[in-house]
Amino acid sequence: MASLAVVVPMFNEASGAADCVKALTAVLPERARLIAVDDGSSDATVSILDELESEFESFHVVRRRENGGYGAALRSGVEAAEALGAKWALFVDSDLTNPPSDVPRFAELMDGRFDYLKASRFLEGGGMVGVPAKRRAMTLIANRVARTAVGRGVTDPTNGFRAVRTRAFLAMPLTEVGFAIIMEELYWALRNGLRIGELSSTLSGRQADQRPSAFGYRPALLWAYSRHTLRIARLRASRRPR
């Protein structure tokens, strides 16, 4: 089994940081590491992570002085993963809306068959539970559009619960610092010929005592997602037999 680092970006997650770290360290496979990237938090997240780092040997904290965004935090996390010798990085949301029990399932697929793994809410056994109706509707629409661009093989292109070989990720000339990195990253995975696999997963809603999600369907984000979806569509068209 390949060595693995679970990378969790965090920004002002004091209410759930400890639960997240404890839940994920409990399911880490042998040789795996957990990396939390504090992305310039202004609340107690930093002190909570510092205390947990001294408690769990497999847990490491990357500290960013300023908030750089989701995409920037991921890159910092993958750089730390490679420095620790991890061959794979698995990206997990800090609010535990991605099931920790899926971490070992990802690890089982890191056996040489794939370079890039995506969790899917649309495979048999996957789904969405407790997700607000508006976000659920937007997710369904966005994925239908993205699936048309991607074609077969990826049923949940916009899902941020995914894993990638660390060297493959760091070789991508990624520019997005926000959530649109999910689609930009998929574009480069397809362009670079990475072998892509999927596994079913269920997304749950945030708990009431957690801060609202930083993800929102704002015009700038929708445009960024659309831009990379169009890049994927053009890439696919360029590879069709003439």
CA-to-CA dists, residue 136 to 127, 129, 233, angstroms: 10, 10, 24
User: Which residue is listed with tokens 């999600």?
Assistant: 213
Residue type, 58: S
Task: Show the tokens assigned to 30.
Answer: 């042998």
Report the pLDDT averaged over residues 174-184: 95
Q: Which fold has domain 4-238?
A: Spore Coat Polysaccharide Biosynthesis Protein SpsA; Chain A (3.90.550)
pLDDT of residue 206: 66
Burial of 46 (0-12, 13-18, 19+ CB in 10 A): middle
Residues 137-163 pLDDT 10s? 888 888 888 888 888 789 999 999 999
Residue spans per domain, the chain: 4-238
Task: Show the tokens assigned to 227.
Answer: 């831009």
Residue type, 223: W
Residues 60-90 pLDDT 10s? 999 999 999 999 999 999 999 999 999 999 9
Using alpha carbons, select from 203, 124, 191, 127 the residue that is nearest to residue 160: 203
pLDDT of residue 180: 93
Report the pLDDT averaged over residues 96-111: 96
DSSP state for residue 158 in the 8-state scheme: T
φ and ψ of 171, to 5 deg:
-80, -10
Share of the chain above pLDDT 90, in %: 77
Burial of 170 (0-12, 13-18, 19+ CB in 10 A): middle
DSSP result, 69-97? -HHHHHHHHHHHHHHTT-SEEEE--TTS-
CA-only gyration radius of the chain, Å = 17
DSSP result, 172-237? S-----STTHHHHHHHHHHHTT--EEEEE-EEEPPPTTSPPPS----HHHHHHHHHHHHHHHHHHH
Burial of 6 (0-12, 13-18, 19+ CB in 10 A): buried
Residue type, 218: R
Average pLDDT value for the chain: 91
